[in-house]
Structure 1
Amino acid sequence: MRAYQVIDADGHVVEPLDMWDRYFDDSYRKRKPKMVTDAGGHLRFELDGRLWPTPSGPGAGRPEGLGAFYAPDSAHRREGGWDATARLADMDREGIDIMVLYPSLLLMGVPVLRDAGLAEAVCQAYNNWLHEHCKTDPTRLIGVGLIPLQHVEVACREAERCVRSLGMRGVMAHPAPSDERNLDHVDFDRLYATMQALDAPLAFHEGGSGHQRTLSSYRYDNYILTHTLSHPFEQMAACANMIVGGVFERFPSLQVAYLEAGCGWLPSWLDRLDEHVARLHHLAPSLRLSPSEYFQRQCWISCDPDERTLASTIALIGDTKIVWASDYPHLDARSGPVKTFHDVQASLAPAALKAILQDNPRRLYGLSSQ
């Protein structure tokens, strides 16, 4: 019998096709999100007049669109994306005890909604549905709410509702600036104060598919590049900006997770930040700790099931701030993620495996040991 639980710190739901009919605010009914077929015959998500993933041009998403999620004949279709009973069966088969849930379609789109009321309606509909999804087995299915970062008042209000009323274990936002404000902008301090007071984590998760200004979306039109670059580059920028910009100095209890970007880049990134802050401290005079120390105190990062750089990452930064994620049921998720992880990480000490698979995600999300 295994000596520890396997907690998936970043699994995904696939928003059901009828979610908007069932949960969306009637006052915004004419602007209800929907699925459409594009000129090429591919299924896409339409939100406020824009198609996701972007069919072509800068920031292009998967050319085949979203059919792989929903088409009955798709090899990638997983009913567990929207059916909680099917998800639990998949978790049992894969050996996953608990899964923390993030969106799929709504990783795209929300950051560019300029109408605060519409953004709130979209997030509320999703969060209400997710709450119902998790009620099938709330000890194993853990929800993380979605907030519109660009509308700070709405984001704070929805974060409070998600954590206090819906029992969610944190909230998530997109790491890329949604307008001209970076993550250290004083406007976001109210959100950071809210999350600190709630004693719940703020997670950043990239979506990477056009219509918004990201480090890859305005430069490349090949999905290999937009997807490969968007996730780690955006999280590197978000992490650096929050540390150097003094967010963690101003909010010393705030906990932030940077997800689905791998972890192999982190040691060299922290080394570089440490060196620059030490040499150029006059440009960040409020910092009383090194970037590495802020990260160890307040930040978390996820690793992939087959991440070959994990052992070297642990050797440099330790194993206390790393969590494990399957990415189920996305197209780049690995088959047999738990077995893959144990096979690839066979050299890790049992204590490190236990920390990454159980102890760290429990601490991050405030999960019971039962």
Structure 2
Amino acid sequence: MRNGYKIIDMDTHVQPPLEVLEKYVDPSLRPRLKELDPYRRPSVGKDGVTRSRLNVGAIAYDRFPGQAPREEDQRPTPGGRHRYIRDYTAKAPNRLKSAAQVSGADVEWAVQEIRSLAHEKWLAAVWLHLPEGKPIDHPDFEPLWATLNELDLPLVHHSFFMEPPYFPGYRDIWGNTVVARTAAHPWGAARLCAYLILSGLFDRYPNLRAAASEVGHGWLPNWVIRLGFNNSYVTGVTPKLRYTPLEYVQMGRFRCAAEPFEGPAMTKACIEILGEDVLMHQSDYPHGQSFFPETAGEVMGWPIWSSFGEHALRKHMCDNAAKFLRLI
């Protein structure tokens, strides 16, 4: 709550020390924990306790940036995370929510894992990690979409820029990390948005909806307008859709968490084009640009809300996310 307004933050990061995560590691991975020793970096907290974190060093964009997870790790790694999240959210199960993380390399297991978690109070969405080179509209994923549609669970996306799953064009950055981070997040979200719409998935699965966080939001109106034009201009390559890309977004089938650093002018333009039901508040805590705990107050203080009305501010800070995450 802030000044009488409910707030849902669509992008906060939990950063447990390695000693905590090791308690939840799948038994099949325990013999390999020593592989992490070269990357452990101990640090002393304010409470005087020494904890470890992993640091693999800087990633240069003039070479292949890291390695994708091993195939045999696709099940035990997210399984351990889900056990940790269950305990973490148990302190406030009605307030703390998260997404199940599943690998697109093993769709059968992903469906089983999602169904096994369906009763968990913390489960609010599903985050699918795609194998490199496999598109979101691949036929292999149909059982997954059917499951999300049945359980009324949304799909969420959070881009990366220096580790798998890689963003589109990651090999073509020409070596500059600033360019990589600037481009990575909206590129990844834009591609996802385009394929979810153009594939006809939203038409085949009426409960399926998706959202992206930590990707900015100013790109979205321009992208779906261009997508709509090109879908009508380049004919014969996509199925017939019931709506235009812009209309799917305006209907809330694809939403976006709004990054406060893009500011009130950009946010106002997005709302004017997309409507009041698309953007959702995020802080990106604990990253430096979050200005936590003042992020929400900063956004609520923007003068643009007087143009839209109090109901638009309530949607932005809480209601759009609550509807998307089936919290209401």
TM range, smaller chain:
0.7 to 0.9
* Counterpart among 224, 235, 238 of residue 284 in structure 1: 238
In structure 2, C-alpha distance between the alignment counterparts of 1:208 and 1:286, rounded to whole Å = 33
Distance in 1 of aligned mates of 2:83 and 2:118 = 12
Residue of structure 1 aligned with 2:314, choices 354, 359, 363? 354
Corresponding residue pairs, total: 311
Aligned twin of 1:194: 147
- Contact 1:59–1:209 at 8 Å: present in 2 too? no
Say if 1:269 and 1:243 are closer, same or farther in 2 by CA, change over 3 A: same
Report the Cα offset of residue 315 of structure 1.
0.7
What is the aligned counterpart of 1:341 among 291, 299, 320?
299
For residue 203 of structure 1, what is the aligned residue in structure 2?
156
Q: Summarize the Cα distance change of 1:59–1:287 in structure 2 as closer, same or farther, 3 Å threshold.
A: farther
- Equivalent residues of 2:12, 2:284 under 8 A apart: yes
Q: Does 1:137 align with 2:138?
A: no
User: What SS does the aligned partner of 1:307 have?
Assistant: helix
Of 166, 171, 186, the residue aligned with 1:232 is: 186
Q: What TM-score, normalized to structure 2? A: 0.85
Deviations 1:202-250 (A, max 9, x none): 1011122145542243123332122111111110111011111222122
Name the residue aligned to 1:363.
Answer: 323
Equivalent position to 2:171, from 202, 218, 227: 218
Q: Does the aligned pair in 1 maintain the 2:259–2:282 contact within 8 Å?
A: yes
2:18 and 2:54 in contact (8 A); partners too: no
Alignment of 1:69-84 (within 5 A): none
SS of the aligned residue for 1:282 comes to coil
| Aligned counterparts of 2:115 and 2:93: Cα–Cα separation in 1 | 19
**2:268, 2:235 → 1: CA distance?**
32
**Structure 1 residues 114, 258: CA separation in 2 closer, same or farther (over 3 Å shift)?**
same
**How many angstroms does 1:59 deviate by?**
7.3
Per-residue deviation at 1:40? 11
> In the alignment, what sits opposite 1:25?
26
User: Bigger CA drift: 325-334 or 252-261?
Assistant: 325-334
Q: Which amino acid aligns with 1:146?
A: Q
SS state at 1:11 partner: coil
- Structure 1, unmatched stretches of 5+, are 62-107
**Distance in structure 1 (CA, Å) of the matches to 2:10 and 2:42:** 35
What is the alpha-carbon root mean square deviation over aligned residues?
2.8
Question: 1:1-370, aligned counterparts within 5 Å?
Answer: 2-32=3-33, 36-37=37-38, 45=54, 51=56, 55-58=59-62, 112-115=68-71, 117-165=72-120, 167-174=122-129, 177-210=130-163, 212-220=165-173, 221-297=175-251, 298-308=253-263, 309-335=266-292, 336-343=294-301, 345-348=302-305, 349-368=309-328
- Take 2:157 and 2:164, find their aligned partners in 1: how far apart are those partners? 18
State how far apart, in whole Å, the 2-side matches of 1:140 and 1:258 are: 20
Q: Could you tell me the TM-score, scaled by structure 1's length?
A: 0.76
Tell me which moved more, 326-335 or 222-231: 326-335
CA distance in 2, matches of 1:41, 1:9: 30
> How far apart in 2 are the matches of 1:288 and 1:365?
24
SS at match of 2:133: coil
Q: Percent identity?
A: 25
Report if the CA contact (8 A) 1:24-1:32 is conserved: no
